[in-house]
Amino acid sequence: MAFVYIGNTALSVQGPVSGKAYRFDRPGARLEVDPRDRILLASLRQLRQVL
């Protein structure tokens, strides 16, 4: 499961279930994330889930 960052600078998020730190370092950055953290990441307007 992946998310892409559509914000303007950078974004750091800690997964609430996995505890993993996710760092989107630039606009367009794409990261694979733990599926258990999907609900939080999907709620952030700067992130879009991608297939």
Question: 31-40: per-residue pLDDT in tens?
Answer: 999 999 999 9
Instruction: Tell me the pTM.
Output: 0.89
Per 3-state DSSP, the chain is made up of helix, strand and coil in percentages (nearest 5) of 15, 35, 45
**pLDDT tens profile 1-29:** 999 999 999 999 999 999 999 999 999 99
Query: Residue 12's Cα: distance from chain center in Å?
Result: 8
Q: Can you tell me which residue has the tokens 């989107």?
A: 24
The pLDDT value given to residue 46: 97
| Alpha-carbon span 16 to 5, nearest angstrom | 18
On the question of pLDDT at 48 being above 90, the answer is yes
Max distance between CA atoms of the chain, in angstroms, equals 26
51 pLDDT higher than 90: no
